Amino acid sequence: MSEAYDRLAARFHRLAVLGEAEGLLWWDAAAMMPPGGGPARGDQLAVLAGLAHEILTAPELAADLAEAEAAGPDADPWRAANLRLMRHAARRARAVPGALVEAVARANSACEKTWREARERADYAAVLPSFTEVVRLAREQARALGAALGLGPYDALMDGFQPGIKAADVEPVFARYERFLARALPEAEARAAIPARPQSPAGSFPVAVQEAFCRRLIERAGLSFAQARLDRSTHPFCGGNPTDIRITTRYDEKDALRAVFAVLHETGHALYERGLPAAWARQPVGAAAGMAAHESQSLIVEMQACRTDAFLGWLGGELSRVFAPDPAFGADNLGRLCRRVERGFIRVDADELTYPAHVILRFRLERALIEGGLEPPDLPAAWNAGIEALLGIVPPDDGLGCLQDIHWYDGSFGYFPSYSLGAMAAAQFMETARAALPGLEMALGEGDLSPLTGWLAGHVHAKGSLFDYNGLLREVTGRPLDPAAFEAHLTRRYLS
């Protein structure tokens, strides 16, 4: 098995490097590229996608897979998992013609650029032609993948983001949460109305000062700028690779907290990437265990740790010191401000309780788009009806509705369930971490995330893709996904 496996490892190392280059081109498009660079960037991304597809579908790779697998099971669980993931990647690639791979990359890049302008103007009609093409190609890709994998079209796209999770697994979890929300939201709103409405910090918060403060938070969380950058983009994200991490955020001079929590969220992603097993770098088993696992790591930092009373008490003192003393930065007020329950239009600004409703809406709509039950021209109306049914609100324009997220317009269908699956996993991981770390609350009160991030590094980050989503949860917490842990967390925080 050794020679065939070694050849496979070399090929997948090359694939990973191509993927890193693709990721940096996407980061550059979001953070640095001038507007006129869009068409050329689309060609660059398409060529890279085509090269990766050629490697994965080459007869030599198939022959090496067959030879390696014919040798029988490997006693090393990491090598065995790596080979299994290689096989799955090759199977997905062979399902889709190279011409379609490049067409998808070009269409997604072109639509994403158009979306940026359309979002600013709340003009869905402007992006509709390019989005219609993105949906057409995504459906074609989903059908081809589904046929090869024995999955439905939407499940085949979900498999690209969180292997092992299907729509049928998500539906009962989301239906359960919808029932929980129907009971919990009115009660949480009633409780929030009893004390005076929290006071928002006054004054202007210069972007340069915010940025410097965010850099300090990143370093305090344990991420070195020797392997990371912080830049600006329309939509905050974390990209790059474990030794070259790219975090972006956006700043609002009237609201410093927006950037602070966005950066803490993205730093959770960054720490996961940085902590992946170096011995398996640029191999499938050395990558993160899917996007739901990734979201669990951003949310355990941002929501589970950094919105606790303990951490907010420390954060308020730091904000007063950096900007100006303000009663709004007091621990009690800051806690009510950062954990305020409020029905709103924007997913990324939503509180923990209502956030899953935004994800449930997107899950249902994107599934319908891929399976043909919803056509692109009808998306705005379906969006408005869906958010009204879930939260009782209707956006005044499409900028606050179906145009707010980048994901569909860059072709990322099947991604959205990962957000709430990640939130639920984060609650389960935090429950286990608290039991293992009796001094955690005291550390958070000193602004010290290292006990938690150190525990995550050893128990989650270092596992790479040795386990899938539920396998990782079993390994760390002793059980697969248990939505009750998330509901218990929300009940303690908002209903007690």
Closest listed residue to residue 257, CA positions, set 310, 200, 298: 200
d(CA 327, CA 492): 26
- Residue 334, token pair as written in the block: 């800051």
Residue 234's pLDDT is 81
CA 302-488-468 angle, to 5 degrees, is 65
pLDDT tens sequence across 249-260: 999 999 999 999
Q: Which residues on neighbouring strands pair with residue 232, listed in sequence order?
A: 249
Write the CA distances from 154 to 108, 334, 424, integer angstroms: 18, 41, 22
d(CA 161, CA 453): 24
For the cut 60, the answer to whether the pLDDT of residue 1 exceeds it is no
Residue 194's pLDDT is 81
For the cut 80, the answer to whether the pLDDT of residue 276 exceeds it is yes
Say what the pTM is.
Answer: 0.94
Residue 267's pLDDT is 98
Residues labelled catalytic: 266
Q: Is 328 left (phi over 0), alpha (psi -120 to 50) or beta?
A: alpha
Q: In 36-193, which ranges are continuous DSSP H helix?
A: 38-57, 59-70, 77-95, 98-121, 124-149, 153-159, 167-193
Number of helices (H), then strands (E), belonging to the chain: the values are 20, 3
pLDDT tens sequence across 355-401: 999 999 999 999 999 999 999 999 999 999 999 999 999 999 999 99
Residue 196's pLDDT is 76
- How confident is the model over 134-140, as a mean pLDDT? 98
For the cut 60, the answer to whether the pLDDT of residue 224 exceeds it is yes
- Please state, rounded to an integer, the average pLDDT across all residues of the chain: 96
Residue 195's pLDDT is 76
d(CA 46, CA 415): 21
Residue 235's pLDDT is 81
The pLDDT confidence band at residue 478, using thresholds 50, 70 and 90, is very high
pLDDT tens sequence across 161-203: 999 999 999 999 999 999 999 999 999 999 888 877 899 998 8
- Residue 398, token pair as written in the block: 């499409």
Write the CA distances from 278 to 98, 146, 274, 440, integer angstroms: 31, 33, 9, 27
- How confident is the model over 59-88, as a mean pLDDT? 94
Closest listed residue to residue 123, CA positions, set 421, 398, 444: 398
The pLDDT confidence band at residue 2, using thresholds 50, 70 and 90, is confident
Q: What residue spans define the domains of the chain?
A: 2-163
Write the CA distances from 167 to 363, 387, 415, integer angstroms: 9, 20, 11
